[in-house]
Amino acid sequence: MKKYYIKDIYDIYKKLINKKIIIKGWIKYYRNSIFIDINDGTTIKNLQVIIKNKKFLVKEKEINIGIPIKVIGKLVYQKKNINNIEIIPNYIKIYKGYDLNYINNSILQNKYHKLSKLREEVYLRFRTNIFSTIMRIRSLLFFEIHNFFNKNKYILINTPIINKNNAEGAGEVFKITSLGDSNNLTSKDLFNNEGKLTVSGQLELESAMYGLAKVYTFGPVFRADNSNTFKHLSEFWMLESEIMYYKLKDIINLSIKLIKYLFKKILYKCKNELNYLEEYHNKHNRFKKLKERLTKIINNKFIIISYTKIIKLLKKVDNNIINWGDDIGSNHEKIIFNKIFNMSLPIVIYNFPKCIKPFYMNINTDSDTTKSIDILLPDIGEIIGGSEREISYKKLLKRIKNNNMNVKDLNWYLNLRKLGKISHSGFGLGVDRLIQFITGINNIRDVVPFPIYPGHI
């Protein structure tokens, strides 16, 4: 006899019919002590056990949702079963050591809990259908991101989580010290300097690009901003890439190619998960056609429009809502999708003002705008930010000084420009927000395993 995971059983069940197998998992549902549904976390599907022989009946007091179980039995084909298969057992073992009172008062019980309620027992969320579904999609997405860049011959660079640069030049950062009082940084500190949790691996990635041409990094980044919104976290995952000799149009094309590639893979490999999510949303009156939305994006062109033109369109809706030079916020994004374009396609906005963009972005000949892009998705907003990078030593030095940044800390970055005016471009993609869009989940805290946000760690 061989032990199988439930996903493997469904994948090859035709070969296992009428064979005796072993499964282990936990009880998901039970009815009349005769029908027991078991899950082991490998698939959203449960495997039903039908107890026909009375000597294998489990005592009512021994059975409960969430407790661990082992079953040995024959896999049989059952046409009436929605999943076509079930197990007729000849051995059942309930593993002891569980606290029934704890389980009965946890989120594991078979009833609807709001996602905010599930966050109260974040360590148990993985046992729920909704969260385990999201995690399977997240896992595949991470794998396919690496797959995409590997297929296109990019080099993966592990940029440091601890550094002393604020690559964005704005926002709050987390400071790191080996001393008890983080405000009393001295030469006795471990780094002889003030360490920070990274907000971006871009600057380090650029140095790798100068030697390896096509590079990417993928890991956690951190923001200390007190942003309590549905799309902000203090710790989140960022994909970043830098490519030698790329111009802005190349970054736009690469970003679109990546998004469409990932959506195709999700549609093909996560059919069961997407079906479950659509049923989940519809059941709770949030009608979301996830598969249709992803398919539409794959099969259509993205909307590409300049920052200046989008500002003019916004002002036509409401002349006082925004001025040229203002950043585009969530309230503006809703108007752009719901009133200006009224469609569910991504929007690429390019040539943002230099006053609202970081120091490293190349400035256009108009001296006011940068060679930059943001890509927006419906309901989520900004998903990608990118630009051509400034390659002039003098211009870059001037931008750093104008932004009141520490020139000494960025000398190494400036020195890269002494290698010659090598044009290059890059972008960053917020992966957690992308998962929000794919799954239709409203709050970013519900698509990461252990969310870290203001007021919660």
- Which domain CATH number covers 229? 3.30.930.10
Q: Considering the domain boundaries, does residue 248 fall inside one?
A: yes
Q: Are 297 and 381 in a shared domain?
A: yes
Amino acid at 54: K
Q: Are 135 and 77 in a shared domain?
A: no
Amino acid at 56: F
Which residues neighbour 253 within 8 Å (Cβ) at sequence distance 6 or greater?
none
Q: Considering the domain boundaries, does residue 111 fall inside one?
A: no
- Determine the Cα–Cα distance for residues 34 and 49; give it in Å rounded to an integer: 8
Looking at per-residue pLDDT, the higher value among 69 and 187 belongs to 69
Q: Considering the domain boundaries, does residue 89 fall inside one?
A: yes
Judged by average pLDDT, the poorest of 30-39, 176-185, 307-316 is 176-185
Q: Are 29 and 150 in a shared domain?
A: no
Q: Are 268 and 183 in a shared domain?
A: yes
Decide which of 60, 77, 105 is a domain's last residue. 105
Total domains present in the chain: 2
Domain hosting 74: range is 2-105
Q: Considering the domain boundaries, does residue 113 fall inside one?
A: no
Which pLDDT score, from 0 to 100, does residue 59 have? 58
Tokens 């901003």 locate to: 225
**What sign for the dihedral angle of Cα 301, 306, 307, 312?**
negative
Q: Considering the domain boundaries, does residue 54 fall inside one?
A: yes
Are residues 239 and 431 in contact, defined by beta-carbon separation less than 8 angstroms?
Answer: yes
Which residues neighbour 167 within 8 Å (Cβ) at sequence distance 6 or greater?
198, 199, 200, 201, 202, 203, 358, 360
Which pLDDT score, from 0 to 100, does residue 188 have? 65
Are residues 98 and 108 in contact, defined by beta-carbon separation less than 8 angstroms?
Answer: no
Q: Is the pLDDT reported for residue 79 higher than 90? A: no
pTM of the entire predicted model: 0.93
Cα 337 from chain centre: 22
Looking at per-residue pLDDT, the higher value among 141 and 408 belongs to 141
Which pLDDT score, from 0 to 100, does residue 61 have? 59
Which pLDDT score, from 0 to 100, does residue 397 have? 96
- Which domain CATH number covers 19? 2.40.50.140
Q: Is the pLDDT reported for residue 65 higher than 70? A: yes
Tokens matching residue 286? 């949030």
Judged by average pLDDT, the poorest of 160-174, 339-353, 429-443 is 160-174
Decide which of 76, 105, 134 is a domain's last residue. 105
Q: Considering the domain boundaries, does residue 39 fall inside one?
A: yes
Q: Are 143 and 267 in a shared domain?
A: yes
Mean pLDDT for 97-123 is 91
pLDDT, mean over the chain? 92
User: Which residues are bridge partners to 48 per DSSP?
Assistant: 37
Q: Considering the domain boundaries, does residue 14 fall inside one?
A: yes
Which residues neighbour 386 within 8 Å (Cβ) at sequence distance 6 or greater?
251, 255, 372, 373, 425, 426, 427, 428
**With the CA atoms of 409, 413, 419 and 423 taken in that order, what torsion angle do they form, in degrees rounded to the nearest 10?**
-160
Are residues 128 and 109 in contact, defined by beta-carbon separation less than 8 angstroms?
Answer: no
Q: Are 434 and 362 in a shared domain?
A: yes
Q: Are 296 and 434 in a shared domain?
A: yes
CA atoms within 13 A on the CB side of 306: 11
Mean pLDDT for 306-334 is 96
Q: Are 249 and 367 in a shared domain?
A: yes
Q: Are 153 and 23 in a shared domain?
A: no
- Determine the Cα–Cα distance for residues 35 and 78; give it in Å rounded to an integer: 14
Q: Label residue 405 by pLDDT band (50, 70, 90).
A: confident
- Determine the Cα–Cα distance for residues 244 and 153; give it in Å rounded to an integer: 13
Give per-residue pLDDT as tens, 187-233. 567 777 778 899 999 999 999 999 999 999 999 999 998 888 899 99
Q: Is the pLDDT reported for residue 180 higher than 70? A: no
Q: Are 131 and 90 in a shared domain?
A: no
Q: Are 53 and 154 in a shared domain?
A: no
